[in-house]
Chain A
Amino acid sequence: MPVNRIIPSLLLRGGRLVKGTAYAGHRDAGAPASTARAHNAQGADELIVLDIDAAREGRGPDLDAFAAIGNEIQIPMTAGGAIASLESARAVMAAGADKICLTTTALDRPELITELAEHFGRQAVVLGIDVTGEGENARLHDHRNGGTARDGDWLAWMQEGVARGAGEIRLMAVDREGSRRGFDLELFAAARAAVNVPLILEGGAGGLDHLSEAMAAGADSLALGTMLVFSDNNIVKLKRVLAQAGNPMRP
């Protein structure tokens, strides 16, 4: 069985990396290629790279940035950002991505999930689920307008996405992004009980304790943004401590 994964989550804007809080207030977070090279060298298990302006600007994703990152790493890259067609997905894969992350484009046209799964295999299709609120108030979120999508029923949409061919889920607790107050483990448990595909949990990581708690709760794949960007945490140290605590990590 796979070991646990630590996955830096990189957001692209105008050829630079940025990081914000709850999908707003983005600050500059460095150059994409050199950051990716550092994560690769420190033993990141995978990268998620999302072009966050592509959807709002009504364009395709930044292929040059994906290629620049892809050239620096020997770990897998999941890429996303307004990928709305098979042609666009093919260009992103050709630029060096291993998996495609669909979020808003799948909401607009759910058939896209199946089209990509039939072409690349479902293991290459990651469905992004953005959730705001917590517990009974958790709602599926559309970051383009800040509103609710599909009547808010994130669980039903996630299950539909898997049935349509998504082979992995990126589950994002939007309110926790950049908050450093820990992962939403209740959200994770609800998702884990509902689908059998791999789940990547994101949003709220602030320190080592949060990673340990999440792994103890069964969240084996954790995406980190702010925690890596605006602090002196390095992945070598994090993974070593997690391994010493008995978590299955990559040697």
Chain B
Amino acid sequence: MQVTVIDYGAGNLRSVANALYLAGAEPEVAASPEALAGAERIVLPGVGAAGHAIARLRGSGMADALDEARARGTPILGICLGLQLMAQRLDEFGSHEGLGWIPGRVGPIEEAVTTPCRVPHTGWSAIAPTPRADGLIGKGPKDRTVYFCHSNCLTTDPDIVAATVDLGSPVTAAIRHENLFAVQFHPEKSQQAGARLLQAFLDWTP
């Protein structure tokens, strides 16, 4: 299956493409809006600061092309910053308007938890899937322990949350909404757990 990986100058495309290849897909990197027109499935990866990423997506016309793909019903997987960009607002080094595909706001982890925790949240943590995960996330401990590396997190409508991670209080680890599936962690860096999740995305019918 062909999967289009969005290149907007924000990080680890090579790792994402490698992991998709190992999951059995044919990854194709797209740096222009035209390349999204026929996309079967889209992965919106991302490592980086929100402001630069949003500016790049809008400036290149990629944001509009992604809007159209979303409206067409193309399954889209967001990873880390890719999840955060789907929100309405992102507050990191200033306040930025997101793609607005899902309700809610992205802000510092410190503001989302009631008990102080180590920030950034870096390392392997166990996630707790909700019924919303609908098989996209495995249930065994090996499938649920995944690699995180983030300072900000999404606060959103609890109905779309597909998994949480316990940082003293539960923090959004994954969402599923219409044709969108997005994760705060890095499946491409999560060995077997990540490969299983990518395969589930490839098989997913929204």
| Contact status of A74 and B22, CB under 8 A, knowing A168-B120, A251-B145 | yes
Mostly, the B contact residues are mixed
What count of chain A residues pass the 8 Å CB interface test? Answer: 39
Whether the Cβ atoms of A198 and B142 lie closer than 8 Å is no
Write out the residue numbers on chain A whose beta carbons fall within 8 Å of the beta carbon of B168.
Answer: 1
Q: Mark A78-102, 1 if CB is under 8 A from B, else 0.
A: 0000000000001001111111000
Mostly, the A contact residues are loop
Which B106-149 residues sit within 8 Å CB-CB of chain A? 116-126, 141-142, 145, 147-149
Q: How many A-B residue pairs have CB under 8 A?
A: 121
Chain B interface size, under 10 / 10 to 19 / 20 to 34 / 35 or more = 35 or more
Whether the Cβ atoms of B123 and A3 lie closer than 8 Å is yes
Partner of B166, one of A1, A5, A67, A251: A1
A118 contacts chain B at the CB level, 8 A cutoff: yes
Q: Mark B167-180, 1 if CB is under 8 A from A, else 0.
A: 11000000000000
Whether the Cβ atoms of B121 and A96 lie closer than 8 Å is no
Partner of A124, one of B22, B47, B121, B147: B47
Whether the Cβ atoms of A3 and B195 lie closer than 8 Å is no
Which B16-73 residues sit within 8 Å CB-CB of chain A? 18-19, 22, 47-49, 52
Partner of B14, one of A94, A124, A167, A196: A94
Write out the residue numbers on chain B whose beta carbons fall within 8 Å of the beta carbon of A167.
Answer: 120, 122, 151
Whether the Cβ atoms of B191 and A93 lie closer than 8 Å is no
| Contact status of A198 and B120, CB under 8 A, knowing A98-B12, A121-B47, A124-B47 | yes
Interface CB pairs A-B, < 8 A, 16: A1-B167, A2-B125, A3-B145, A74-B194, A90-B9, A98-B11, A98-B149, A118-B52, A118-B93, A121-B47, A123-B149, A168-B120, A168-B122, A196-B116, A196-B119, A198-B118
